[in-house]
Chains A and B, each alone.
Chain A
Amino acid sequence: MASSGMLTKFESKSSRAKGIAFHPKRPWILVSLHSSTIQLWDYRMGTLIDRFEEHDGPVRGVDFHKTQPLFVSGGDDYKIKVWSYQTRRCLFTLNGHLDYVRTVFFHHELPWIISSSDDQTIRIWNWQNRSLICTMTGHNHYVMCAQFHPKDDLVVSASLDQSVRVWDISGLRKKHSAPTSMSFEDQVARSNAQQTDMFGNTDAMVKFVLEGHDRGVNWVAFHPTAPHIVSAGDDRLVKLWRFSETKAWEVDTCRGHFQNASGCLFHPHQDLILSCGEDKTIRVWDSQKRTAVQTFKRENDRFWVIAAHPEINLFAAGHDNGVMVFKLERERPASTVHQNSLFFITKEKHVRSYDFQKNQESPTLLSLKRLGSAWVPPRTLSYNPAERSVLVTSPSDGGSYELINLPRDGSGALDTNDSKRGQGNSAIFVARNRFAVLNTASQTVDIKDLSNNTARSFKPPRWDHGYLLWRHRQPQKKSIAELAVNGVKYVVWSNDGLHAALLSKHNVTIVTKTLEQVSTLHETIRIKSATWDDAGVLLYSTLNHIKYTLMNGDNGIVRTLDQTVYLVRVKGRNVYCLDRGAKPKVLLIDPTEYRFKLSLVKRNYEEMLHIIRTSSLVGQSIISYLQKKGYPEIALQFVQDPATRFELAIECGNLDVAVEMCKELDRPALWKRLGDEALAHGNHQVVEMAYQKQKQFDKLSFLYLSTGDHNKLGRMAKIAEHRGDFTARFQNALYLGEVEDRIQMFKEIDQYPLAYVTAKAHGLEEECQSILEVTGITEDQLTLPEFGEPMAQHQPVVPTYKANWPTKATSQSFFEKALAGQLEGMSLEDEPAAANGLDDEFAEDDSAAKKNGAMDVDEDEDVAGWDMGDVEIPEADADFVNVESTDAGGAASSEADMWARNSPLAADHAAAGSFDSAMNLLNRQVGAVNFAPLKPRFLEIYSATKSYLPATAGLPPLVNYIRRTLDETDPRKVLPIIPRDPEYITTNDLQRGYDAMRSNKLEDCLAVFKGVLHCMFLNAVSSESEAAEAKKLITSAGEYVVAMMIELARRQLGSQDEVNANPALLKRSLELSAYFTIPKIHVPHRQYTLFSAMNLANRSKNYSSALSFASRILANGGTGRITDSAKKMKAACERNPHDNVEIEFDQFAEFDICAASHTPIYSGSTYEECSFDGAKYHSKYKGTVCVVCEVCEVGKHGSGLRLFA
């Protein structure tokens, strides 16, 4: 039999491994070695975590504690050691055995350890009080193995005395676990009732002695659930035993090992026995039939021990040169996706399908039980929708495929006559009537037709790329492309067929369909499966994570997994997958992060805006990602922390924000960086501010010099004088070209020679004379160098100080503009609004105050900047401020402009006449696209905002702006009046609508409610609760509109006679009248609809429907004509509750009415909504204009209508 099924997951190289233990939760394995070392491995990562070396000589037994961070070991130094793997040291040693310790195991619940030893005893220890509590004697040779029963108070042991013994330790449990609950009488009774063994020990008694092995027994194990025992001995046999309460017997023997059998165990989940032996084999046996299922052979190493993971399908075996961790079979369920269905093969080898939309698993479509070997699961599945047949490959018989038609009757029975089979390692449908089979042995691909005849055959040059690639290669009969990728195991095609992901153990490579490599990534953990998102994001699963990767290789974790799954499809937030039990599962993921990154890569800024607005995408990782990817300006939008904002602002050159943050933080280092950055931008106004903050006088002077700002240079000179800083004074005087000042200064500091030379150089003879007089020296006494022309003071060519130089173009991305431009409606508004404000200040003043330049920053900054140390120069300060505050003419923005700035409400923007931004707001808030119906409302609001105050005769009136914020005078807070607020609508329009409804003028009623809706698009309320009320009003009006439209549609079907004459029309008429009762309009109005529907149904002899309407009328209560006739109707209809005309109206089902088609949308089915009025639509209407409000796009989601600022 082939060893193909066994999959090695991990191998270590070491000296002989004698003991193995799996950690119950973590991917760890303990290995005790003949060399006295205990190793702790992470078999998933393949790394050695730790080594424990305190034993003297070989260590033969190890075991993890189930819950505590402990493990136990026993060795040839007769010692049992208990270790903590957290503190990485031996906690204590249990001494007592007089010879080698062979095995040690923890009890599953009690604080006990059982050990077996060559001293012919089995001992039970309490590791909490570190004492020996029981010594079990009876074997008369080495005891090779002793284990607790996983549940009962039993112990089984194996010895070289050729016997297996089962012991009852219930006495020991009673004695040690509940000493207080036992009365004296009990103790007496017990001691009397129980016979003692020859040592007077009553705690553990031999229950059965199992004899059957002809040589020593090396290992013995209980079945996890059934009363079975398996043992392995030097007679090369594996024996299966059964026991009951009273007796035990040998069931069967598994023959096959041709050397000593050293270990054996039951498969934790399947009816299998595993054994290993010195014949270098691991053998798998069917425990029911006692036949060999599988054999694995190692070339050189004898096996010494075998262990099973308690939970997952993993085994480990120790041999002469280390350990191997393996599993018996592939756990990947064979599956294939066709449109909305997943076809897969369960563990029971049943073919089933799973509907992604309905989340439903089908019953078994086909049973493959009889196909191949019982223990070999099929490997792949391919589905042919045209023929409704499947192609299954299985590794049995060296690889075979089978073509089977799915039974039409759904019986699931396998009709073997119907199936075609053949040899091959992999097979897949490539066309409606063709499939391809890969044969690795002959390295050929055969294209076969459905009757299993080979149509043609070719040799692929590189078959190791994975079979799926042929889908593309095959039709052209030539190899399309080649790419050297090692170890590719699976290929996943993207939904559009343009890209494929090649999965190998640790790598994902994304290639185009022509096999050009797009990106590749490496995982340290095994990659299990992958599937493509509709947007072109690859989601892949590793052993413990679902991750994503974009085409450019950016990847990240989507979520962690409790257990390994195989992804089959992603849809929205749902990931569909199969777990290892081949059960379809739906996992919920949060796709925000990768969608955001994807839209960043695709530069789909609108999508990004949407994501920013609708989700709470924050956190360091996204910020650093954006920063790393070169989008600091976008990262800026996510950050609140001033320091980070400053960094980002500097990085993206957004000086406005940087200035703002700098003011907030006010740290010298930051001012310096700001200054440097601003200088690089050429924004000397910010540079000036930064220098002022840092009190860098010389730099300031130079800045003023270079910008030609003489005024301020003069002031710098004054300041230098006040500071008594002569160097600075000299410098400033030099900049200013003030010779006298310099001379004066030299004189002040007694530098007469310099003063003289300066005067002389500038030809100031009088000054020279006076200096000579003061110093009492004559000109003859001096030797002077030749003077050139005195330095001429340069005049600035362009007065650059008046305005900034053309600054470095800070390219505003669309994104920034979108965020900074018209964002009043969104959650980020405070921050861009602030930026806006700054901009505007600059802009206004620039235009307004032509003379003083855009110095408004200075007005307060100067004071703030200077008053720190310069108390003694008040007049300079006053000067400074005065210069800036000149009267300036020019127009400013009107109050209406302020409204648009002050408010995030569309209504206020409309009032301000900023229809563009109002429309943008509505578009973003509720997806409004068709504004034509709103035109009257826009103009109404706009017209209501201005009054005309007659002033001077001959001039047009003064326009003033009518506010709703009457007491407010701060121009940054005023807001316009909005006519027809919700309260007005409720008391006026709504009543008119109700009146029209009552008087059956449905067209009028429809017009009124549509008008109400249009009115509510642009409105404003004064509190959150009013906003909630207003939203209710909108929804209610929407329901009325739907109701009216349904009824009007019914009335348009034709006259009563025409409708009655035409069955189709009659049916539709009845349906519409029934749907008329569905919208959630006020109960009294609903009564009308029900009444009308009831009468119509009655006239058409649809008594059952009429009855249900009558019942609903009565359920709504009330009195009057309607309820009276409902009572009568009910009585009449109950006699004959049948419908004459069958209509699509399920009175018991929950459903909504599609506003466009007037057909039901049953709960559970997908639908789209108008995000303004909540009208529901079938999905096919997505993207159309909502017929209810006539404004919004159906299915376009927005941030929600804002009515309250």
Chain B
Amino acid sequence: MDPFGAEGELINIHNHFHQGQYQEVVDFDTAALSPENALPARVLALRARIALGQADDVIADVQGESEPELAAVGALAQHSLGKTDAAVKTIEELASSSSDNATVQTIGGIVLQAAGKSEEALALLSQHSGNLEAVALITQIHLLQNRTDLALKEVKAARSWAQDSLLVNLAESWVGVRMGGERYQQAFYVFEELAQAPSTSSIVTLVSQSVCELHLGRVEEAQAALEQAVQKDPKYAEAIANLLVLNIVTGKNPSELTASLRSVDPTHPFLADLAEKDALFDKAASKFSAKVSA
């Protein structure tokens, strides 16, 4: 029986993790779990701690462990600390030795993709057998590559065998936000349901919901949701970035938020992008000049 399935022991911790409720994952009582599920639960808890910014502790935790799962988690922790080369090396080793391990696949996919090796990530992930997290990752990678068509195909295929899994719903919503039109609304429903129920609500789902609203042109609602998110965690970069974009859309002065985003996450794609375009503008503008200088 699938431990992550609707009847499985790990369904709750798994959902907490993917809903972005990392603290709940860490606090999850794993004592009652059957022994074969202990390791996956531990992996999830470790990953949640990495997401919460406790990568150092995680490295210490997995030090000396031999299981490929824990080695992979260690690599992920290394990666999140910026030691990407070492992480990639570990993952590549794991990929050659135990590529059929679901945890190695997912974490390996994350690390490889994050290191910019999309082809390798996809190659590793494609070996999955019914690993929904791998499906979600593949979908995300396709979306990052702007291959919406392939992402959609992946999600559709997954939906046929994992009807109402949270991950499939999420992945489908990601694709929906990219495709637009009626799918904005469908994605909005998915995120809203998660974000508005106290048991499932997290800053991640709240931001996701507001992104949908932003795309739907409901700027007031998006504003409210994002402000709520920023209140919840003033250091959550995605919330700040989206609020920043929203402010620009509504014609407000974005400088304050830009500064706070810069302090929270100086490497955020928004800032990197902006800096690049800033330079591009100057370069492009320099090609033009008036016939007569004033």
Contacts and interface: CB of A to CB of B under 8 A. Distances in A.
Interface of A: 887, 889-895, 913, 915-916, 919, 923, 928-932, 935, 938-940, 942-963, 966-969, 974, 977, 979-980, 984, 988, 1181-1185, 1187, 1193, 1196
Nearest to A960: B177
B110 A950 contact: no
A955 B249 contact: no
Interface of B: 17, 20, 22, 47, 50-51, 76, 79-80, 110-111, 113-114, 118-119, 122, 133, 136-137, 140, 143-147, 150, 153, 170, 174, 177-184, 204, 207-208, 211, 214-217, 238, 241-242, 244-245, 248-251, 254, 268-270, 273-274, 277-278, 280-282, 284-285, 287-294
Given A950-B238, A962-B249, 6 more contacts: A889-B145, A940-B248, A963-B215, A966-B180, A979-B251, A984-B251
A943 B51 contact: no
Given A915-B281, A960-B211, A887 B150 contact: yes
A181 B264 CA distance: 109
B20 A947 contact: no
A932 B215 contact: no
Counting from the closest, the 7 A-B pairs by CB-CB distance are A1183-B291, A1183-B292, A931-B285, A969-B181, A891-B145, A944-B248, A953-B51
Contacts of A946: 245, 270, 273
A948 B114 contact: no
B115 to A, nearest CB: 11
Contact of A958 (B177, B180, B217, B274): B177
B184 A966 contact: yes
Question: Which applies to chain B's interface (DSSP): helix, strand, loop or mixed?
Answer: helix
Contact of A954 (B50, B136, B147, B290): B50
Contacts of B214: 947, 962
B130 to A, nearest CB: 18
B76 A958 contact: no
Given A956-B269, A960-B178, A980 B251 contact: yes
Contacts of B133: 952
A226 B118 CA distance: 104
A930 B269 contact: no
A892 B269 CA distance: 19
Contact of A959 (B110, B111, B137, B269): B269
A428 to B, nearest CB: 38
A952 B137 contact: yes
B145 A892 contact: yes
A949 B184 CA distance: 13
B288 A979 contact: no
B53 to A, nearest CB: 11
22 contacts: A891-B145, A895-B178, A915-B284, A929-B290, A930-B285, A943-B248, A946-B245, A947-B211, A947-B214, A947-B242, A948-B269, A951-B170, A952-B133, A954-B114, A961-B178, A962-B249, A966-B184, A1182-B291, A1183-B291, A1184-B293, A1185-B294, A1187-B294
B79 A954 contact: yes
A1182 B146 contact: no
A980 B248 CA distance: 9
A82 B251 CA distance: 88
Interface class of chain A by DSSP: loop
A935 B285 contact: yes
A915 B146 contact: no
A1196 B291 CA distance: 10
Contacts of B207: 949-950
A955 B140 contact: yes
Contact of B288 (A890, A930, A1181): A930
A940 B258 CA distance: 12
A979 B180 contact: no
Nearest to B144: A958
Contact of B277 (A913, A949, A953, A988): A913
A932 B238 CA distance: 30
B284 A916 contact: yes
Contact of A919 (B17, B277, B288): B288
Contacts of A948: 211, 238, 241-242, 245, 268-270
Contacts of A957: 238, 241, 269
B216 A966 contact: yes
B292 A942 contact: no
A969 B114 CA distance: 29
A930 B249 CA distance: 25
Given A943-B274, A966-B216, A958 B143 contact: yes
A704 B106 CA distance: 44
B290 A962 contact: no
B50 A960 contact: no
The listed residue with most B CB atoms (<10 A of its CB), out of A943, A977, A1187, is A943
Contacts of A890: 145, 147
A939 B216 CA distance: 22
A977 B278 CA distance: 20
Contacts of A932: 285
Contacts of A962: 214-215, 245, 249
Given A962-B249, A966-B180, A889 B289 contact: no
A705 to B, nearest CB: 34
B146 A1185 contact: no
Contacts of B47: 953-954
B248 A953 contact: no
B291 to A, nearest CB: 3
A950 B250 CA distance: 22
A1066 B221 CA distance: 58
A951 B245 contact: no
A979 B277 CA distance: 17
A952 B147 contact: no
A945 to B, nearest CB: 8
Contacts of A963: 180, 215
Contacts of B170: 951
A977 B122 CA distance: 32
Contact of A935 (B111, B268, B281): B281
A946 to B, nearest CB: 7
Contact of A931 (B177, B242, B288, B292): B288
Contacts of B292: 1181-1184
B122 A943 contact: no
B147 to A, nearest CB: 5
A1196 B133 CA distance: 59
A966 B215 CA distance: 8
A939 to B, nearest CB: 6
Nearest to A922: B288
Which of B178, B270, B291 counts the most chain A CB atoms within 10 A? B291
Contacts of B244: 943
A967 B215 CA distance: 11
B140 A952 contact: yes
A953 B22 CA distance: 10
Contacts of A893: 146
Nearest to B222: A947
Contact of B136 (A915, A939, A942, A952): A952
B179 A1185 contact: no
A909 to B, nearest CB: 11
B38 to A, nearest CB: 21
A928 B285 CA distance: 10
Given A916-B284, A928-B288, A958-B177, A950 B50 contact: no
Contacts of B268: 948
A940 B144 CA distance: 23
Contacts of A967: 181-182
Which of B143, B150, B280, B285 neighbours the largest number of chain A CB atoms within 10 Å of its CB?
Answer: B285
Contacts of B111: 954
B82 to A, nearest CB: 13
Nearest to A1193: B290
A953 B248 CA distance: 27
Q: Which one of B47, B133, B217, B249 has the highest number of Cβ atoms from chain A below 10 Å of its Cβ?
A: B249
Contacts of B273: 913, 942, 946
Contacts of B208: 949-950
A938 B276 CA distance: 13
A891 B215 CA distance: 23
